[in-house]
Chains A and B, each alone.
Chain A
Amino acid sequence: MPTVDGMEETRTSYHSELEELRSLVVRLGASVIEAVPRATAVLLAGDLEGADYLVQSDDEIDARAHEVESRTFEILALQAPVAGELRQLVSILKITSDLERSADLAVNICKAARRIYGKEIDPVLRGLISKMSEQAEQLYQAAINSFAENDAATAAAIEDMDSFLDALHRQFIQAIFETHAREKMDLQLAVQLAIVARFYERIGDHAVNVGERVRFALTGWKPELRAIERQRQRDATGEFPLPRN
């Protein structure tokens, strides 16, 4: 039978492992935050060497994500956490997935840079790409800070912050049409840039997801609760939207 001292030692080790895991998530997040402006620099400078470096660096991010997941599973299996700690561990699994996917999107930006190598990007579009990159980076900074500091208020604000990136995305697509209409850009470049803009927009969405996971870990709130509530009201009133013909 374990002694009281032995049980305390086990709990200390458990909390220490949890802290270490959280630290790994923050480190993974820092790598992703750094990958976004680096990918943008590669795209705007047509830096093939930089693109190659970032594509290869993604393996390290994947390895880190894998380590976080393995350790999380280990803690879940061995410590059987409950309540807040369980929510936290489940959130970490989902956050890791968002981070890993965001790093992939940064890699995709580099690959797009390779495809459009040698083509000149219109100054208006370059300016908007820089802005989208800065915004995506800021969203992720806020998301990782909210995780590291257990800050539910910041986590809740990220969704609203993302609307600016969404607006930039729409503005960028409009600018692509305008530039293409002025015959200043060929179709291939236009399509690639539209895809790149989508990558930034998706990185922003993943940052919003991270914010939502942090909120869930801290308060139990989930975005799906809003949909569940709407569904419940429809069930109660019997009012359902009619299918469109």
Chain B
Amino acid sequence: MSLLLALLTFLVGAALGVSVARRRTHGRETSATPLSPESATSPKGSVTDVVAMALDTLPSGVVIAEASGEIILKNAAARGITGVRHVDVLVDEAVEKLVRDAAKTGEQQRQFDTAGSPSRSFDIRARRLDSGYIVATVEDVTERARVDSVRTDFVANLSHELKTPIGGIAALADTMIGEVDPQVIQRLTARIVDESYRLSHIIDDLLDLSRIEFGAADYWEPVAMSDVVNEVAARLQHEASRTGITIQAVRPMGVTVVGDRSQLVSALENLVSNAIKYSGSGTTVIVDTRATAEAVSISVIDQGIGIAAKDHHRIFERFYRVDKARSRSTGGSGLGLSIVRHVVSNHGGTVSVASEEGRGSTFTIVLPLAASSEPAIHDLDQQSPVVAPEPERNLTR
């Protein structure tokens, strides 16, 4: 039983020994000021007055019903817990059902979820008092449910991401035992090496993420964003060319951010790398940089497969995969966007996504500029986009 419900059990038991004005609700909101003329009164109001007013201050919904299940009181929160009519109506119905059940069994609890916009989760509890009255509480636990889901998914996804290459290595090694054909052994060995690199990549990313999460930076310095964009474009040019994708980047001359250069490169590289992975051949990935007096925004725009709206708020979680089936073919550790989020946060900035399934995605990082930064680009649109030069292959990440 929740603490709130226990407290209410006591309060309601004490205060509603006095009568509560009986009102039929008929689906209408019932005021939490239920008074009968004979209620105990004081110069500042009756006991039930005070209790009703106290209940109205609670963020959780409180509903009191008679033994028959008929609701006689709702506090302010219970009269409209979300402010969206149809959601409130559905919650009302769930509460009424639980109250009826509690009248028979003594105590009931359930989580109630609504779909659509807005999708919400509620924890509803009901308990029958000794007097026969039933007290129910309604809490909006949407955020708590989201955090729980993130935690559960993280453990499941981490296990999956680590287990897959380890399982592969074990199976391949097992096959090698007793194998005498040198060509087969060579092929199996090459695959074991691939899987080992994949595992190593995931662990590297995890360690990077852990370091970034604590806000640790190797070396904070003024970083020219043009260098960051150039370096990322250069690193990924080969991968883009291989898949028939053009990277178009605007160099932001004279824009400086104080931060960790390697972290900033890592963040932008993750975004551009994702854009390449999820775009079709013949498309263009644009790295568009714009600056104001206070901030610089870097947008990575692709024409790829896009992301459904329902996934937008989850893609920055560690190991979250929009399409689990596709994660294997696209590679990656599943930590990229989580790294981006933490890097940007460390630098006092924000990262956002605008995307539609099948229409491409735009990820935008906004970072505050260094105090001494004087953007030389007054209108970035006038700059001619440049194709990043052929890179030196960088295998450090």
Contact = CB atoms under 8 A, between A and B. Distances in A.
Interface residues of A, number: 33
Contacts of B324: none
Interface string B260-286: 000000000000000000000000000
A219 B379 CA distance: 55
B356 A127 contact: yes
Given A23-B26, A137-B116, A124 B85 contact: no
Interface string B13-28: 0000000000010111
B89 A27 contact: yes
A30 B85 contact: yes
Contact of A30 (B90, B117, B310, B358): B90
A59 interface: no
A173 interface: no
B360 to A, nearest CB: 10
A23 B84 CA distance: 15
A23 B356 CA distance: 38
B357 A124 contact: yes
A41 interface: yes
Contact of B309 (A27, A124, A130): A130
Nearest to B90: A30
Nearest to A22: B27
A148 B85 contact: yes
Nearest to A129: B357
B358 A130 contact: no
Interface stretch (A31-39, A79-87, A88-96, A237-245): A31-39
B26 A36 contact: no
A20 B298 CA distance: 56
Interface string A19-55: 1101110110111011011100100100000000000
A134 interface: yes
Given A20-B27, A126-B357, A144 B117 contact: no
Contacts of A37: 115-117, 119
B358 A19 contact: no
A4 B286 CA distance: 80
A148 B115 CA distance: 21
B293 interface: no
B116 A33 contact: yes
A34 B119 CA distance: 10
A144 B358 CA distance: 32
A127 B305 CA distance: 10
B93 interface: yes
B85 A145 contact: yes
A29 B86 contact: yes
Among A19, A33, A128, A145, max chain B CB count under 10 A is at A33
B252 to A, nearest CB: 31
A26 B28 CA distance: 11
B116 A34 contact: yes
Contacts of A34: 86, 90, 114-116
A24 B27 contact: yes
Interface string A115-143: 00000001111111010001001100100
A137 B306 CA distance: 23
B308 interface: yes
Nearest to A124: B358
A56 interface: no
A195 to B, nearest CB: 20
Contacts of A10: none
Nearest to B26: A20
A62 B86 CA distance: 18
Contact of A141 (B26, B86, B306, B308): B86
Contacts of A44: 308
Nearest to B119: A37
A37 B114 CA distance: 9
A27 B27 contact: yes
A-B complex: 4 closest residue pairs judged by Cβ atoms: A23-B27, A124-B358, A37-B116, A127-B357
Interface of B: 24, 26-28, 84-87, 89-90, 93, 114-117, 119, 305-306, 308-310, 356-359
9 contacts: A19-B26, A19-B27, A19-B28, A34-B90, A123-B306, A130-B308, A130-B310, A144-B85, A148-B85
Given A123-B358, A138-B117, 8 more contacts: A19-B28, A27-B89, A30-B93, A34-B115, A37-B117, A127-B357, A127-B358, A141-B86
